[in-house]
Amino acid sequence: IDPYLRPLYDALHDMLDPESLPKLLTGGVIEVAPLAYMRGRTLNDAFIVLDEAQNTTVEQMKMFLTRIGFGSTAVVTGDVTQVDLPRSQRSGLRHVTE
């Protein structure tokens, strides 16, 4: 497991039955995908979580928000006081909340 995904898998293990989690992942009920792989997709009838959104650029945030399809709900989490982007880049989370 990639280190940046470890907190997500830890949270899933805390919330779900440890025996059902592998089935949900292999069955495609739960999908974990980096933001970089969302381009060109439309996520219909989905519950979508974007975590650590303070580290998205404005362009990445726009790309994410335009992936939300019909019947979907999106939750965006982040803390604008913890941005790790270079100073020359504006946080996508800060941009959409102002």
The parent domain of residue 50 ranges over 3-97
Could you tell me the CATH number of the domain that includes residue 22? 3.40.50.300
Quote the number of domains for the chain.
1
Distances (CA, A) of 42 to 22, 23, 66: 24, 24, 8
Q: What are the two backbone dihedrals, phi and then psi, of residue 51, each rounded to the nearest 5 degrees?
A: -100, 155
Residue-level pLDDT, tens digit, the chain, 98 residues = 578 788 888 999 999 998 999 999 999 999 998 898 899 999 999 999 999 999 999 999 999 999 999 999 999 999 999 999 999 999 999 999 99
Distance CA 17, CA 19 (A): 5
